[in-house]
Amino acid sequence: MAFDRLFEPIKIGNLELRNRIIMGPTATHFENDDGSFTQQGIDHYAARSRGGAAAIIIGCVTVDTRSRYFCSSPGAWDDKYIANWKKMADAVHAGGAKLFPQLMHPGGMDPRPGISVAPSRVPVPTLMTEVWADPHELTVPEIEKIIDDFGEAARRCKEGGCDGVEFHMAHGAYALTASFVSPVLNKRTDEYGGTIEGRMKFPLECIKAIKAKAGDDFPIIVRLSGDELEPYGRTLEETCYVVSMLEKAGVAAIHVSGGYCPAGGWRVVPVNGLPMGINAEYAATIKKYTKLPVMLVGNIRTPGFAEFLLEQGICDMVVGARSFIVDPDWPNKAKNDEVDDIMTCCGCVGCNVLLNTGHSIGCMINTDCGKTSEEAAIIPAQTSKKVLVIGAGPAGLEAARVAKLRGHDVSIIEKADRIGGQLNLASVSPAKQSLTVVVQYFDRQLKKLDIPVEFGVEATPELIMERKPDAVIIATGARPIAPASIPGIDGENVITSWDVFSSEKKYGTNVVVIGGGAVGCEVAEYLAGRFTRPYTKGRIAVSLVEMTDSLASGLDFGTTAHHAELIGDLPIDVHLNSTVKEITPDGIIYEQNGECKQITGKDTIILAMGSRPNETLKEKIEGFVPEIYVIGDADKALTAMDATHAGAEVGRIV
């Protein structure tokens, strides 16, 4: 497939870009504590430049040391960072891309004392559960100081060799400039509030300061939400007027996102189950009211869809962050007609989970993401070994791929009739259909690398010893937890979430789902929403029981929020702080806050209580095989990302 529009050059201001593909901003945690880039960070962005991006936007660049988005966010608040930016700019330019630091001030959503500042003292929820920020209302002198901070930061970026900057005024409380523009957060009665003209005074003065300090020839991209999607928030119509003001102020391009943080954070970083091109409507409308090039971000995962958006005139450039996390080379692969080799983002937001828990960015599919060039290098094995991988789930598949690349003779035994393991079950959930791209990717890699897979084969000790492998990698996965301590758990009315998603067992129309983690929520949403079409009869009545005080805990805030919205919209009867004591023939008996309660009239009980490792073969083959490794869920039931990374690690040492 030709991608003629995707690879057309385009100008941002006076700067020509080699194509219309922009690497979008995201935090990475590839910075030292002082805000300087690590070699890991420089290598990360340099690789994306070599991969074919036209421009790279580095996210969350701090303009004021007192207000850092992350403790390790890149610094531009002091002249000492000019040399650091020069090093990054040289690395990015060497690959052919242009460099745009994204200047931002985190504003009121950060709960740390002295850091949370806002146009008005309006408490806002933060990314931390049940923690609200009580921001300091900025005085006019403080506003003027921050305006100067933006200008000085832009000057340093220019002196450091950057090609322009992105000015972040999107996503509500997530950024100070967006807070000023939002009628929900700006309640000021001075010249910085009131009408939209007053609310725009602060960002427009910041832009004026940037141009004064860095020059008119230094392009400014402005990122903003097309619609805040918040009650009484900024609408698309108002945004079109905002864009007209920005155009008159001399900005060079508009970067269209959508939503409002933190309530709509699941749209800001689109989670599984959301539409492709989620902000396309906003970009298409804004484009009618401006002559500036319009950039679009949000669930643009394939080059074919990106080309379509450009062909239809919806936008002038496409922006992807996770698409570059998963595959830094995807633009070059698309240009060279190697689309089948592209690793496509599956939307698992595992990258975001890592960031929100204080780790540097990573990826479930691209296990090299986050490594330095030296760490990511595939080092040929000194001696080629006969490696037998047992299990074709994500851990076994990645182990096989990496081991084969190192020169080993690799084969796989799989008990089921297809590769993918639990990914095949997870992708049945309507919100997780995109996980199928992971299975497709591994299928293509197996064929490309000529790794044979035997399906429907039970890996017995006898079979393994007969094959005489030099190394065995056991990746046999996990099985659902069914606590024997719960009376009635072995009843005929009890099935598991795996049974539902695999269609192995039938279920009725009145069900109880035990377990409100990610899988429990997905099962409940799947069943409650599945039979609601006009041409079906009735719907499945779902009760969801969770022993803690929250649903979908342990996920990134966006996915948790999305589950909360779905479950709130569906007729799901939720019971929190509820511990199941017994399963009866028509329901359950549970304890809630010290009180014994009962749910009756149910025909099916569905267990979604997690999983535990399958029994491994390790003990049975020890002494017969020189090297034995147990990885993935067979070692410890964790996440798909943990599984693939465990596979990559073993593939590098086997």
Q: Residue 135 carries which side chain, given as an amino acid letter? A: P
Residue 319, strand partner residues? 22, 297
List Cβ neighbours of 141 (8 Å cut-off, separation of 6 or more): none
Q: Where are the beta strands (DSSP E) in 25-111?
A: 55-62, 98-104
Are the CB atoms for 27 and 361 separated by under 8 Å? yes
DSSP 275-287: PTTTTHHHHHHHH
Q: Are 602 and 494 in contact (CB under 8 A)?
A: no
DSSP assignment letter at 54: S
What is the Cα gyration radius of the chain?
Answer: 26
Q: How far is C-alpha 27 from the chain's CA centre?
A: 11
Angle 193-100-68 (CA atoms, 0-180°, nearest 5)?
55
Residue of 283, 342, 346, 363 whose CA lies nearest to 317: 283
**What is residue 473's three-state secondary structure?**
strand
For residue 435, the one-letter residue type is L
Given 174, 192, 260, 282, which residue is catalytic? 174
**Six-digit token pair at 110?**
């950060």
Residue 586 CB neighbours (<10 A): 14
Q: Looking at residue 73, what DSSP letter applies?
A: P
Which structure tokens are listed for 638?
């964790």
CA distance 255 to 570: 34
> Coil, strand, or helix at residue 45?
helix
Rounded Cα–Cα distance for residues 232 and 545 (Å): 35
Tokens 């070692």, residue? Answer: 635
Peptide bond preceding 613: is omega within 30 degrees of 0, i.e. cis? no
Which of helix, strand or coil describes residue 184?
A: coil
174 is catalytic: yes
Residue 440 CB burial class (10 angstroms; 0-12, 13-18, ≥19)? middle
- Backbone angles phi and psi of 166, in degrees to 5: -105, 135
- Reduced to 3 states (helix: H, G, I; strand: E, B; else coil), residue 82 is helix
**What values do phi and psi take at 569, rounded to 5?**
-85, -25
Helices then strands, each counted (H, E), the chain: 23, 31
Residues 359-377 as b or e (16 or more Cβ within 10 Å = b): ebbbbbbbbbbbbbeeeee
Q: Give me the residue label for tokens 């007969």.
A: 466
Other beta carbons within 10 Å of 410: 29
**In the structure encoding, which two tokens stand for residue 529, read together?**
């929403």
| Active-site annotation, residues | 174
